[in-house]
Amino acid sequence: MKKNVHILILSISIFVNIFFAYIFLSNTKTNSNFNFSIIFTIAVIAISYLLLKNRFSELMPVNYNNTVELKEDPNSRKTNITFKDVAGLDEVIDELKVIIDFMTNTEKYNKMGAKIPKGILFYGPPGTGKTLLATALAGETNSTFISASGSEFVEKYVGVGASRIRALFAKAKKSAPSIIFIDEIDAVGTKRNTDNNSEKDQTLNQLLVEMDGFNSNEGIIVIGATNRLDMLDEALLRPGRFDRTIHIGNPNMKARLEILKVHTRNKPLDESVSLSELARKTHGMTGAHLATMCNEAAILAVMRNKNKIGKEEFDEALERVIAGLKKKYPSVLEKERTIAAYHEAGHALIGKILNVNTVEKISIVPRGQTLGYVLNFPKDDSFLLTKTELKNKIIMLLGGRAAEEIIFNEISTGAENDLKEATKIAYQMVCNYGMSELGNRVFDIHMLKSTEIIDKEVNKIINNCYVSAKKILMENKHKITLIAERLLAKEIITKEELESLLEEENKLCV
């Protein structure tokens, strides 16, 4: 209520109070008047008291009054962060542009009867910019950014998770256009139990109900973020809910350079600082690490009374971040990176020499559990594979381990998936395709009393293929080194780069 109205009411009630007190004192002789005066006086005093109480409580400091609602909710705000603040995620940003167009030109889509996704799910390692990207999307579309964390529904608000979800959506509708961002959505979104009764499941059910309940043209987009896509309940990923999933991975060297540029944008840098050199040295780091590193370097420069941040500060800041990382993932940065480079070079070189698949890209940018990978596709959609083609596949799969053995005289656990795949193909050759010395027949492994004869044939195939892999790589040892060194310097080699690298080498050898 407005302050002036309050004062007016108070004055009137005091005046009426005095007036009736006067009537009461002058009319005590008649009983009915007496009773009326008493009741009325008490009522007026009570009303005055309540009004006064409210007035005082408004004047009290906020923390004495625990029913006061925060006027400015820090979790719901307009933001001026835009895509200019997000670096190295150009492909993701391109994908999000259609959402921006929808939120800013809703009519155009409505006319065509086009439905835009209600929910987008960002998944990938921590610190890669998922929250930042969601905030920037709100900034670009001038939407209200409403954020919540999945864990707060089940930890902080035990028993009220479902109603918090309802409130979240109600707030979003009231302040549309808006973006609801639910970080750590896995805390509420993991697969449900069959009894559906737990606090988490009730919260998840409410989230599903709310997502079904709003219309995509109401100007609300829900963005979820998780590091564990595999743990989510499928119901969340159904059309009309989080039907777009976007992977946000660790940045490669080019992306790291862009991120460094963003985080040094308003920092005075000394000429000695080379951002590309820093991008090269920060392999395995996320955007969050890079942001921390730039900030640490700036703090060091202030402490040293410098007016510009120099190379020394960056080197020291880098060491601090790496020291933190090393504690978390011992030796991921140098030793494993080198092993990964030679391992992937082994796969790629054999793929190229035996013409197995088209090698599209070789990378040692860590992804999930793997430290590197060779992206390769079959040359055509062939339905049939020959025995030689299957064997060549196995040789290529074993090329990673063979390269490790040749170069380091030691093997690592990095070949686990390769071995699984190679063994699977070898079993199929023996049991399904009749491609072993056991003849042109199939075997149902579950019907056999002993798998000894099968295992023997499988071992023979694998061992022969491993010998072939080592032979090929030994004959081309300098090429493995060439590819691995390029990988260590650039992290990613494209199909074209691999071709010209090997061509140059061939010319030199002629």
What positions carry a catalytic annotation? 344
Part in contact with ligand ATP (CB under 6 A); list of ranges 81-89, 139-147, 210-218, 354-362? 81-89
Strands 178-183 and 144-149: parallel
Q: Quick one: which of 51, 116, 262, 385 contacts ligand ATP (CB under 6 A)?
A: 262
Minimum distance between the CB of residue 255 and ligand ATP, rounded to whole angstroms?
A: 7
What gap in Å lies between CA 22 and CA 32, rounded to an integer?
16
Sheet strand arrangement including 358-363: 373-377, 358-363, 492-494
Cβ–Cβ under 8 Å, residues 329 and 351: no
Which DSSP string do the residues of 315-369 spell out, in sequence order?
A: HHHHHHHHHHHHHHSTTTTTHHHHHHHHHHHHHHHHHHHTT-SEEEEEE-S-BTT
Q: Would the annotation count 130 as a binding residue?
A: yes
The CA-to-CA distance between both ends of the chain, in Å, stands at 92
For 108-132, letters b (16+ CB in 10 Å) and e give: ebeeeeeebbbbbbbbbeebbbbbb
Site track for Zn ion across 413-442, x = CB under 5 A: -----x------------------------
With CB under 5 to 8 Å by kind, the binding choice for 183 among Zn ion, ligand ATP, none is ligand ATP
State yes or no: 125 annotated in a binding site: yes
As measured in angstroms, the least distance from the Cβ of 262 to ligand ATP is 5
Q: Which stretch binds Zn ion (CB under 5 A): 319-327, 410-418, 478-486, 499-507?
A: 410-418
| Long-range residue pairs from 276-280, CB within 8 A, at least 24 positions apart, any chain | 278/314, 278/318, 279/253, 279/254, 280/253, 280/489
Q: By rule CB under 6 A, what string of x and - marks binding of each residue 219-258 to ligand ATP?
A: ------x-x-------------------------------
Residue selected from 83, 120, 123, 129 as contacting ligand ATP according to rule CB under 6 A: 129
Rounded to the nearest 5 degrees, what angle is found at the Cα of 480, between the Cα atoms of 348 and 459?
A: 65
Query: Least distance from C-beta 329 to ligand ATP, angstroms?
Result: 16
Among 79, 118, 120, 130, binds ligand ATP (CB under 6 A): 130
* Closest of 139, 99, 133 to residue 220, by C-alpha: 99
Residue 383 identity (one-letter amino acid): F
Candidate list 400, 422, 462, 469; residue touching Zn ion; CB under 5 A: 400
What backbone phi and psi angles, to 5 degrees, belong to 245? Answer: -115, 135
Q: How far is the CB of 219 from ligand ATP (least distance, A)?
A: 23
Q: Total residues at the site for Zn ion (CB under 5 A)?
A: 2
**What are the backbone angles phi and psi of residue 376, rounded to the nearest 5°?**
-140, 145
Between 16 and 419, whose beta carbon lies closer to Zn ion? 419
* Bond preceding residue 378 cis, omega within 30 of 0: no
Is there a contact between 258 and 290 (Cβ–Cβ < 8 Å)?
Answer: no
Stretch that binds Zn ion, among 27-35, 122-130, 152-160, 396-404 (CB under 5 A): 396-404
For residue 142, CA distances in Å to 86, 103, 136, 170 come to: 16, 9, 9, 19
- CA-to-CA separations, 161 to 148, 187, 239, in angstroms, rounded: 11, 11, 24
347 is in an annotated binding site: yes
Residue 311 known to bind ligand: no
Tell me which DSSP letter residue 400 carries: H
Radius of gyration of the chain (CA): 34
41 or 227: CB nearest ligand ATP: 227
Residue 130 binds: one of Zn ion, ligand ATP, none (C-beta under 5 to 8 A by kind)? ligand ATP
Residue 422, both tokens: 């190679």
Among ligand ATP, Zn ion, none, the one that 418 touches (CB under a kind-dependent 5 to 8 A) is: Zn ion
- Choices 87-95, 230-238, 352-360, 395-403 (CB under 5 A): range interacting with Zn ion: 395-403
Instruction: Check binding of 132 to ligand ATP (CB under 6 A).
Output: yes
- Is 201 or 344 the residue whose CB approaches Zn ion more closely? 344
Find the shortest distance in angstroms from Cβ 248 to ligand ATP: 6
**Is 127 an interacting residue with respect to ligand ATP (CB under 6 A)?**
yes
- Residue 128 interacts with ligand ATP (CB under 6 A)? yes
Locus of tokens 């009630």? 13
Q: Which residues pair with 221 in a beta bridge?
A: 179
Near Zn ion by CB under 5 A, which window of 141-149, 213-221, 412-420, 445-453? 412-420
Q: Is 131 in the site for ligand ATP (CB under 6 A)?
A: yes
| 87: contact with ligand ATP by CB under 6 A | yes
Pick what 127 binds: Zn ion, ligand ATP, none; C-beta below 5 to 8 Å, kind-dependent.
Answer: ligand ATP
**Interaction partner, residue 400 (ligand ATP, Zn ion, none; CB < 5-8 Å by kind):** Zn ion
Q: Which residues of 152-166 are buried (b: 16+ CB within 10 A; e: fewer)?
A: bbbeeeeeebbeebb
Selection from Zn ion, ligand ATP, none that 128 binds (CB < 5 to 8 A by kind) is ligand ATP
Measured from the CB atom, is 291 or 484 closer to ligand ATP? Answer: 291
Q: Which of 291, 349, 364, 415 binds ligand ATP (CB under 6 A)?
A: 291
Alpha-carbon distance 214 to 198, whole Å? 25
From 76, 83, 86, 341, residue interacting with ligand ATP (rule: CB under 6 A): 86
Report the binding-site residues for Zn(2+). Answer: 343, 347, 418
Q: Which residues bind ligand ATP (CB under 6 A)?
A: 86-89, 126-132, 183, 225, 227, 259, 262, 287-288, 291
Report the binding-site residues. Answer: 124-131, 343, 347, 418
Q: Which residues bind Zn ion (CB under 5 A)?
A: 400, 418
